Structure 1
Amino acid sequence: MEKNTIEHFYENTPYKNTGAGGPLLPDGISKEIGHFNVFRSSEIITQFKLRQVMPYNRRMYYKISLLDGRNRAEYADKVIDIDKYALLFASPKVPYNYIPLDEKQEGIFCIFTPEFLVQTKSGVVPDELPIFAPGSFPVFILDEAQAQEIKALFEKMHAELEGSYAYKYDLLRNYLLELIHYGQKLQPDTSLYVTNTSASRTTSLFIELLERQFPIASANQKTMLRTAKDYAERLSVHVNHLNKVLKEQTGKTTTELIQNRILQEAKILLRQTDWNISEIAFSLGFEEVAHFSNFFKKHVSLSPLSFRE
């Protein structure tokens, strides 16, 4: 099972197969209507004693959090320090490090899959919403009144999950959209964002994202990120900025680092599998076998077949 799916999330919480608001959706239903649940931060952190630093990973779900406590959110090109209240929007496309700065966390958050919102009459696609777009401001500092307003909305969600109303998931979608629109109406205070202060953090996130494309475990698996632009978009930074940072930090360009890692994986697959050259080329993102052969020969001075033999 791929890590950081909804199932993996539950495996790493004290709720296992139940969830904070009651049981998970029955087998078969979740795939059709998506998944939604609400959790209290204090239950997750204190009961299960999750490690404090929650590093970047490829979550396959969306998350909206009302933070109540000292926290820090680190992105590739900005850092947001939170003293008390904040509203945080997280999507699978934008990596970040989340660091609680004290044990007392009284926030609340919800998780949901894109399929859950698609079920609305308007067929809302989360990736098309401004709040989840790469490069958007993902964290909003709240005052006391705003925090209580958001908390009340989360509490409605929590209570509805425990109820037996036949159309409760329709109502939950309305609450979720209300929360999303609340965030989109907030004007960010850009002074809270410390930009370009940590080239090493950007480099670290890039390397981790690159490594998560590997290893290739199946001939049907395909590397999805192939170009410097792909990585820059996923990290929510400009491709020129990413290239400049990596060149300063590693002495290599973004493209060189990507190609070196693909070449390393190609050698492993040629030596340790019986896949044919076409299967290896496909899994590494090459549309044509000839393109892969030319790439390999350029860097190794041998054809893939000669290297294997």
Structure 2
Amino acid sequence: MNDQTVSPLSDFNASDLKLKGFKVYKISDDVSKIPSYNRRDFYKICINTSQSLIHYADRGIEVDGTILFFGNPHIPYSWEAISPYEGYACVFTEEFLKVNDRSESLHQSPLFKIGGTPIFNLSPDQKVFIDTLFEKMIAEQETDYVFKDDLLRNYINLILHESMKMQPSENFFKHKNASARITSLFLELLERQFPIEAKDSPLILKTPQDYAQSLAVHVNHLNRSVKEITGKSTTAHISERIIGEAKALLQHTNWSIADIGYSLGFEYPSYFNNYFKRLTGTVPKSLRM
């Protein structure tokens, strides 16, 4: 019996998804076309029937049956199917779901927040109900109804509220090699911040403390694990990746140096210049042709 990594997404255009902020689709193990949208932009809700192993941050869970899964783009996760699978999924941005600034952030939702439990076992009746909501969303996204987005948001919120009434799964297990696992998660989360695609959307995670908070571990534990496994500090990994991205942006975009610095998390150009010079021995302007 061979495990397989599940990325069961239907064929759709990545830029179109970023523009609309929402996509719902059916999943099954016969889907071969996989889109390459940027995972860090999208939250995910998935109903899946299979025998599977799900890795979520530094935890794992074995499932056999129908589950409802909530994926936070800022928490690394992966999914291995042990048996054939089927179900539905939707991906969406926080901007799509939030209609005003007073709406609760998804980061604070019990279903998506750091340290929460994102997996719910479904009874046959619950499966039928959730399946029906996904089928309604699939049908609705093809219409020209003027208030379609509002209706889709209502379906998502109905799934969220129904899920919060359920008892979450509690059969998580800790991975045996905790240092290796947390280091792998840190490196994956670091890489998810890049490439920088917009100069007005600054880097979210900039310090070891930021990464530790996103991974729901103490920063000292993160630092010890990363140093033990890689021989380099957490700060060194972050700095090297930021400098690498800075060089790419300086050489391959026409953004101003101030805009590049801001996109990398530096509020003032002088901060970026000093940081870059300290780590490279030269100033950003020297890389401009």
| TM, length-normalised to structure 2 | 0.73
C-alpha distance 64-306 of structure 1, shift in aligned 2 (>3 A): closer
Gaps of 5+ in 2: 1-6
Task: Map 1:109-124; keep pairs closer than 5 Å.
Answer: 109-119=89-99, 123=103
Q: Is the 8 A contact 2:58 2:175 kept in 1?
A: yes
Residue 182 (structure 2) pairs with residue 202 (structure 1): yes
More strand by share: 2
Deviations 1:172-213 (A, max 9, x none): 4333222101222223243x1112534333322322332344
Deviations 1:76-134 (A, max 9, x none): 211122211111011333221122223x21212233333443349x8565344221212
Q: Distance in 2 between matches of 1:202 and 1:283?
A: 27
C-alpha distance 188-298 of structure 1, shift in aligned 2 (>3 A): same
Deviation at 1:235, TM superposition (A): 3.4
Q: Is the 8 A contact 2:88 2:131 kept in 1?
A: yes
Match of 2:209 in 1: 229
Deviation at 1:47, TM superposition (A): 3.9
Residue 27 (structure 2) pairs with residue 41 (structure 1): yes
Match of 2:10 in 1: 13
Match of 2:3 in 1: none
Question: What do you get for the CA RMSD once the two structures are aligned?
Answer: 4.2
Task: Map 1:1-309; keep pairs closer than 5 Å.
Answer: 13-14=10-11, 16=12, 35-42=21-28, 45-48=29-32, 50=34, 58-102=39-83, 104-119=84-99, 123=103, 125-161=105-141, 169-190=149-170, 192-198=171-177, 199-214=179-194, 222-265=202-245, 278=258, 281-296=261-276, 298-299=278-279, 302-304=281-283
Is 109-118 or 226-235 further displaced after alignment? Answer: 109-118
Q: Is the 8 A contact 1:93 1:134 kept in 2?
A: no
Q: Secondary structure at the match of 2:30?
A: helix
Q: Is the 8 A contact 1:57 1:95 kept in 2?
A: no
Looking at CA atoms only, which structure, 1 or 2, has the larger radius of gyration?
Answer: 1
Q: Distance in 1 between matches of 2:194 and 2:52?
A: 31
Q: Distance in 2 between matches of 1:68 and 1:166?
A: 34
C-alpha distance 113-288 of structure 1, shift in aligned 2 (>3 A): closer
Q: Which amino acid aligns with 2:283?
A: P
Q: Distance in 1 between matches of 2:247 and 2:117?
A: 41
Gaps of 5+ in 1: 1-8, 18-23
Q: Distance in 1 between matches of 2:140 and 2:272?
A: 54
Q: Distance in 1 between matches of 2:121 and 2:244?
A: 44
Is 276-285 or 176-185 further displaced after alignment? Answer: 276-285
C-alpha distance 101-247 of structure 1, shift in aligned 2 (>3 A): same
Q: Secondary structure at the match of 2:127?
A: helix
Q: Distance in 2 between matches of 1:125 and 1:294?
A: 34
Identity %: 41
